[in-house]
Structure 1
Amino acid sequence: MLKVGLTGGIGSGKSEVARRLAERGAIVIDADKIAREVVEPGTPGLAEIVQAFGDEVLRPDGTLDRARLGSIVFADPEKLKILNGIVHPKVGARMAELEQAAPPDAVVVYDVPLLAENGLAPLYDLVIVVDAADETRIKRLTTLRGMPEQDARARIAAQASREERLKIADIVIENEGSLEDLDARVAEVWQELRARRDQDNTSSGLSRRTPGR
């Protein structure tokens, strides 16, 4: 099994890369998707969030108002730390379950937005960083997601810098061009991942990576 950490700042196009890798045969474990699952109505995660932030973060139907919660925590590092302390352990436990269910010869891609922030790079055989300029990301967030520019800048500021992510990258996917450009780059990366997996299967195994390799 080849374990690949995939990360990138908000608006970088990381999810597009993850989808394309899945189409080519990778098993993608999506931390954001799991993070939503662990705070669905009736879960301990949602109860803990309400206890920490109040009923104002709930919609009338009892589901989590992620936009409202985001506006609270991304403007206050201490509140963001509280939220991460609730959600991250639950996400980690579920990701471990999914990894155990994968076949031994799989390329498993862990889509983890806060990989750099949480010092998780050593957990993977290699790390892919999807990179784009901050202004490009702001434009995507405001035009494609309808996010106010102030919120977009706050969310980018709350994450690791581009430089911090690139320091832990084994493979960089630059995403400043067209979707066709991205398709071509992902195809190249997929071939490299398969080659590394095959090398692992025919040798004593890949050594664990070290930060900044």
Structure 2
Amino acid sequence: MDLNPAMRQTLRKPVQWVVGLTGGIGSGKTAVSNRLHELGATVIDTDEIAHSLTQPDGLAIPSIRTAFGDAAVNADGSMNRNYMRGLVFKNPDQRVILEKILHPLIRESVQNRLDQGAPNYFLIVVPLLFEKGGWNELMDEIVVVDCPIEQQVRRVIQRNNWTEEQVLAVINNQASRSVRIEGADHVIENTQGITELIEKIDFLHRKIIKKAQK
């Protein structure tokens, strides 16, 4: 589901090179972004921003409580993620309401960080880059981290202790692998071990930095 016009306010493109990073849940986006950060990328992770907005005293919490009631907020003042996850996946209308709260705040935070500049290039991690409008025009190139769905499921079950049904519910609400790959400038296949993955990331960084420094 695309964002409505109010949620798709145009982000100002910085002079620095901007790389978008995306991929399905459990594909390995964090491993890729962490390594690129080590190599000199200035990383802006929209998931991390969303988490900060929904932590105790986060900027989004008052609006979430108003929209979804006290059950949506934990005793410590953070968003009740389990409750909200169950709610939004069962009811798309509720997901839209949550997005209307979070997405403008996320984009405002992204813009603030872009305005600070980067010594090399920006890497913006957007898990739903192809699902939500208003991001592609900001990117100079897009990197997709990919692996088979079976690997995604195993990784998320191991990492989050979710059920297979929960993982598949998330995957089914994301763009398909074919859609992501078709929209990518670079695809990193994360199907083997960390050593091979780092080799691929380092090779990609060398290609990006050449463009960023032109």
SS in 1 for 2:60: helix
Q: Which residue matches 2:104?
A: 89
| Cα deviations by residue, 1:89-134 (Å, 9 ceiling, x for unpaired) | 100000000011123x521000111111013222110000111111
Q: Which residue matches 2:11?
A: none
SS in 1 for 2:143: strand
Q: Does 1:172 align with 2:187?
A: yes
Q: Is the 8 A contact 2:57 2:77 kept in 1?
A: no
Q: Which residue matches 2:12?
A: none
Give TM-score scaled by structure 1 length: 0.88
Mapped partners of 2:150, 2:90: distance in 1: 19
Alignment root-mean-square deviation, CA: 1.3
Which one-letter code corresponds to 1:148 in the other structure? T
Mapped partners of 2:25, 2:58: distance in 1: 26
SS in 2 for 1:128: strand
Q: Does 1:15 align with 2:30?
A: yes
Mapped partners of 2:182, 2:98: distance in 1: 26
> More deviation in 60-69 or 163-172?
60-69
Q: Which residue matches 2:124?
A: 110
| Count of aligned residue pairs for this structure pair | 198
Give TM-score scaled by structure 2 length: 0.88
Q: Is the 8 A contact 2:61 2:77 kept in 1?
A: no
Matches within 5 A, 1:1-213: 1-103=16-118, 105-119=119-133, 120-199=135-214
Mapped partners of 2:90, 2:151: distance in 1: 21
Shift of the alpha carbon at 1:44? 4.2
Which one-letter code corresponds to 1:63 in the other structure? S
Shift of the alpha carbon at 1:41? 3.1
Unaligned segments of structure 2, at least 5 residues: 1-15
Mapped partners of 1:6, 1:44: distance in 2: 25
Shift of the alpha carbon at 1:51? 1.6
Q: Which residue matches 1:203?
A: none
Among all aligned residue pairs of Structure 1 and Structure 2, give the percentage whose two residues are the same amino acid: 34
Unaligned segments of structure 1, at least 5 residues: 200-213
SS in 2 for 1:195: helix
| Cα deviations by residue, 1:153-188 (Å, 9 ceiling, x for unpaired) | 101111111112112100111111111111010001
Shift of the alpha carbon at 1:43? 4.0
Q: Is the 8 A contact 1:75 1:154 kept in 2?
A: no
Q: Which residue matches 2:9?
A: none
Which one-letter code corresponds to 2:112 in the other structure? E
Shift of the alpha carbon at 1:67? 2.3
Q: Is the 8 A contact 1:121 1:168 kept in 2?
A: no
Q: Is the 8 A contact 2:43 2:122 kept in 1?
A: yes
Give the direction of change, closer, same or farther, for the CA distance of 1:22–1:44 in structure 2 (3 Å limit). closer
Which one-letter code corresponds to 1:153 in the other structure? L
